Structure 1
Amino acid sequence: MNKKRKTGGTSAERSDVFEYDISDSETVVEAVLNAVSTFTDIPSSPPEASVSADGGRETLPPLHEVIEPDALTDLSASSRATANVRVTFHYVGCEVTVTDTNTVRVSE
């Protein structure tokens, strides 16, 4: 179940958090792109992209610009055998955390 919720106490501490459950039919990299795309409303691939004011298409930048996709996949696979594995990185102004519970958490 994917959900967007508010967290924190005071309004200054609150931020939007989106939790995305990784399905059995997608890779962790696909899940990260899908979660961030949903959270930011920025398409992950050109066919879905809208034309921006300058005539270009706005899409998510390649994930490999911020994290090595193969390493992320390897860590995610190893986390099934080892508990308490989390990978957190920043991507398009968001904090992205991949957890050992097959969840991608995206926040501002």
Structure 2
Amino acid sequence: MREFNELQSMEAIEHFITANKLAFLYISQPNCSVCHGLLPQVQTLMEQFPQIQLGHIDAHEVEAVAGRFSIFTVPVLLLFVEGKEFIREARIVHMDLLEEKLKKVYHHMAE
């Protein structure tokens, strides 16, 4: 399973997005059972996409993240390509659909 970088400030989050061509954010909260159940599945899925950089944000710790990314629930999964949001999944994530979306973006970027 791939590990996520813990991002603990808005400055770190913005830098992570701009510094990486493919940046994936997993936004969760400590008291969210869906978040805790989904994270290992996402970590396993991301093994297929080694060039995507992984960042985790605790929305309880970095409260400004909700306003910055218009988040109303957790978990939220965001993929940024060259600083632009390409994929957004929230709350109930269908892993097979997420995998399809990631493959399309990933293989297009690899060309």
Q: TM-score when scaled to structure 1?
A: 0.24
Question: Greater share of helix residues, 1 or 2?
Answer: 2
Question: Which of the pair has the greater relative contact order for Cα pairs under 8 Å at 6+ separation?
Answer: 2
Give the greater-gyration-radius structure (CA): 1
TM-score (norm 2): 0.23
